[in-house]
């Protein structure tokens, strides 16, 4: 495989063989290098910097922000750092999301500066911009040198666009409130031609969701409605940045995303995916298992492989089958997403038309109601393959890319029963089919989420 090929969804390492710690990151190009700044949650560190000439081999530069940088950072969380250069002052300016290290109640931004791109940054202050909450954020410098800070406000309900002061060290004005009440976060912005594009995620914590984009002819003007981009889980990622590669033959755009692992932060990884534009105002994102990047020409090649595997999500729980047994039966239950847990992987087998079977990837067994019972509340178990309707499930389309799964034998649908006591598992049962149109929070709704590798 070519050395300039990026393997997505894997643990990337720097040229010293150490895992790259740069989540929620941003990029800056200088003297032929791409500099990558991102959060580092290993002991004593907050923001680390790496550099690369080809976007594949990354050299560690410096832990540019640590807990020793300033007393206000000694216990803080520092997330989504972005850096830009101010030509007027000759300084590099970093903005990030600052929290107290206990919870997310502070909702502040912080500003740091440095005379060199990868030096030790000096902490100036943390604050709420114009008195507003500020969480997930990004920086964007326009062609005329005006810089903007975009952040999630009002408990993540709104997205604010602020214009920065000429020195980039303060907020000059709140220019725009985008999509009030629609709960968008993780903003990433790019300008292509005459239009600005903004990609965001929904607000579901560490779990992935449907990414959306919008466009505008002016960053401070009217923006379009939000449009879906990528898969219903944005290929199990959350946006953090859009890289522009200006080459001799073409200009390419790379979606940079974090693939968070809610069960083990340090198993989280990264993806570089090619963005394409069918028109001046439309963009699309496809999965690529790997991409080859030529930063000189701007050309990219993508390769995609199908895993043949799925995760089944109900609400924010993923169906699993391990360690919950009774009288020899293995029950299916809901668990927090774990990218490493093979027991959360399933194979969807098409029987005919809208009828499927669901096979557990590890055990090879199929889901069915316990004892073939038609009683409401019966638990769902794993069993060896049988040519029987109790292992067959009718796929009923529901809202927002979800489905409902109705057992052909019993006529009842899957439902995740919440545990009555702390520490107990949320067990999968069968229940009457709800009459609602479905969607992420319907009791019967299932997201059949393809696994991308």
What local confidence, expressed as pLDDT, does residue 2 receive? 41
Question: Do 358 and 282 fall within a single domain?
Answer: no
Reported as a pLDDT band with limits 50, 70 and 90, residue 424 is confident
| 115, 247, 281, 284, 407 from 254: Cα distances, Å | 28, 13, 17, 11, 42
What average pLDDT does this structure show over 325-336? 84
Q: Cα–Cα distance between 170 and 344 in angstroms, integer?
A: 46
Residues 257 and 365 placed together within one structural domain of the fold: no
Task: Give dist(CA 237, CA 260) in Å, integer.
Answer: 7
Q: How many domains does the chain have?
A: 2
pLDDT digits (tens, 9 = 90+) for 361-384: 999 999 999 999 999 999 999 999
pLDDT at 91 over 60: yes
Tokens for 330, please give them. Answer: 């293995």
Helix, strand, coil share (%) of the chain residues, nearest 5: 5, 50, 45
**Mean pLDDT calculated for residue range 403-407:** 97
Same domain, 98 and 241: yes
pLDDT value at residue 19 = 98
**Residue 338: which domain range?**
308-452
pLDDT, tens digit (0-9, with 9 covering 90-100), for 228-280: 999 999 999 999 999 999 999 999 999 999 999 999 999 999 999 999 999 99
Last residue of a domain, one of 289, 304, 319: 304
pLDDT value, residue 1? 35
pLDDT in the model for residue 218: 98
Please check whether residues 252 and 107 belong to one and the same domain. yes
Assign residue 379 the CATH number of its domain.
2.80.10.50
**What local confidence, expressed as pLDDT, does residue 327 receive?**
63
For residues 297 and 337, membership in a common domain is answered with no
CA distance 71 to 52: 32
Q: For the ranges 158-162, 328-332, 400-404, which has the lowest average pLDDT? A: 328-332
What are the two backbone dihedrals, phi and then psi, of residue 348, each rounded to the nearest 5 degrees? -100, 115
Pairwise CA distance, residues 196 & 217, whole Å: 6
Reported as type and span, the H/E element at residue 370 is: none
Between CA 356 and CA 236 the distance in angstroms is 24
Statement to judge: residues 286 and 428 lie in one domain: no
Q: Same structural domain for residues 434 and 314?
A: yes
Please report which confidence band the pLDDT of residue 98 belongs to, taking 50, 70 and 90 as the band edges.
very high
**Do 285 and 356 lie in a common domain?**
no
Q: What are phi and psi of 141, to 5 degrees?
A: -105, 125
Phi, psi of 17, rounded to the nearest 5 degrees: 85, 10
Average pLDDT, integer, range 300-327 = 90
Do 293 and 357 lie in a common domain? Answer: no
Query: SS3 for 1?
Result: coil
Under 8 Å CB-to-CB from 297, ≥6 apart: which residues?
Answer: 247, 248, 249, 250
Same domain assignment for residues 275 and 326: no
Closest listed residue to residue 23, CA positions, set 108, 64, 86, 80: 80
Percent of the chain with pLDDT over 70: 98
Could you report the per-residue pLDDT of 193-228, keeping only the tens digit for each? 999 999 999 999 999 999 999 999 999 999 999 999
Q: What is the pLDDT of residue 324?
A: 66
The dihedrals phi and psi of 174, each to the nearest 5 degrees, come to -85, 115
Number of helices (H) and strands (E) in the chain: give both, helices first: 0, 37
Q: Which two tokens stand for residue 228?
A: 């879906």
How far is Cα 260 from Cα 359, in angstroms, rounded to an integer?
Answer: 26
Indicate which CATH number applies to the domain containing 243: 2.115.10.20
Which is it for the CA torsion 330, 333, 336, 338, positive or negative?
A: positive
Which domain-ending residue is among 263, 283, 304? 304
Long-range own/partner contacts, residues 146-152 (CB < 8 A, 24 or more apart): 147/84, 147/86, 147/93, 148/175, 148/189, 148/219, 149/95, 149/109, 150/187, 150/189, 150/198, 151/97, 151/109, 151/187, 152/184, 152/185, 152/187, 152/203
The two structure tokens encoding residue 397: 């389309």
Task: Examine the fold and report which residue of 282, 304, 326 is the final residue of a domain before the chain moves on.
Answer: 304
Pairing of strands 329-330, 91-99: unpaired
Weakest mean pLDDT among 58-62, 90-94, 437-441 = 437-441
* Buried b / exposed e along 296-334 (16+ C-beta atoms within 10 A): eebebebeeeeeebbbbbbbbbbbbbbebeeeeebbbbb
The predicted structure's pLDDT at residue 93: 99
Per-residue pLDDT, 439: 84
Contact indicator for 295, 54 with CB cutoff of 8 Å: yes
Same structural domain, 73 and 205: yes
Please tell me the predicted confidence (pLDDT) of residue 4: 76
Same domain (yes/no): 295, 313: no
Answer whether residue 345 shows pLDDT above 70. yes
Instruction: Return the H-helix or E-strand segment holding 259.
Output: strand 251-259
DSSP 8-class letter at 99: E
Residue 141 has pLDDT above 70, yes or no: yes
- What is the three-class DSSP state of 342? helix
pLDDT(420) > 80: no
């Amino acid at each position: 495989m070519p050395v300039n090929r990026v393997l997505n969804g894997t643990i990337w390492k720097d040229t010293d063989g150490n895992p790259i710690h740069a989540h929620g990151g941003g990029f800056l190009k200088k003297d032929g290098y791409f500099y990558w700044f991102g959060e580092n949650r290993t002991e004593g560190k907050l923001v680390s910097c790496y550099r690369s000439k080809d976007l594949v081999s990354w050299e560690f530069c410096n832990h540019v922000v640590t807990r020793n940088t300033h007393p206000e950072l000694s216990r803080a969380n520092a997330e989504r750092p972005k850096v830009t250069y101010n030509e007027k002052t000759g300084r590099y300016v970093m903005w990030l999301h600052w929290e107290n290290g206990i919870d997310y109640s502070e909702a502040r931004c912080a500003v740091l500066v440095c005379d060199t791109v990868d030096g030790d940054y000096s902490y100036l202050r943390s604050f709420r911009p114009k008195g507003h909450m500020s969480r997930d954020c990004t920086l964007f410098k326009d062609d005329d040198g005006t810089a903007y800070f975009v952040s999630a406000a009002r408990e993540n309900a709104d997205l604010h666009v602020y214009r920065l002061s000429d020195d980039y060290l303060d907020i000059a004005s709140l220019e725009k409130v985008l999509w009030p009440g629609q709960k968008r976060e993780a903003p990433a912005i790019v300008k292509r031609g005459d239009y600005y594009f903004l990609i965001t995620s929904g607000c579901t914590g560490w779990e992935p969701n449907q990414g959306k984009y919008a466009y505008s002819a002016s960053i401070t003007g009217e923006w379009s409605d939000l449009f879906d981009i990528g898969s219903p889980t944005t290929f199990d990622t959350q946006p953090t940045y859009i890289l522009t590669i200006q080459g001799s033959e073409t200009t390419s755009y790379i979606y940079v995303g974090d693939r968070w692992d809610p069960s083990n932060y340090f198993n989280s990884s990264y993806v570089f995916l090619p963005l394409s534009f069918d028109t001046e105002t439309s963009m699309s994102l496809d999965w690529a298992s790997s991409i080859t990047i030529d930063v000189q020409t701007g050309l990219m090649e993508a390769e995609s492989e199908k895993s043949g595997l799925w995760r089944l999500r109900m609400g924010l729980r993923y169906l699993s089958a391990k360690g919950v047994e009774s009288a020899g039966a293995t029950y299916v239950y809901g668990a927090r997403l774990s990218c490493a847990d093979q027991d959360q992987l399933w194979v969807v087998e098409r029987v005919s038309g809208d009828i499927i079977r669901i096979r557990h990837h590890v055990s090879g067994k199929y889901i069915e109601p316990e004892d073939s019972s038609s009683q409401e509340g019966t638990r769902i178990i794993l069993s060896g393959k049988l040519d029987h309707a109790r292992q067959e499930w009718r796929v009923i389309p529901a809202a927002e890319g979800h489905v409902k799964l109705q057992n052909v034998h019993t006529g009842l649908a899957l439902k995740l029963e919440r545990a009555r006591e702390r520490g107990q598992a949320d067990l999968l049962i069968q229940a009457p089919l709800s009459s609602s149109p479905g969607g992420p929070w319907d009791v019967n709704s299932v997201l059949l989420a393809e696994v991308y590798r």
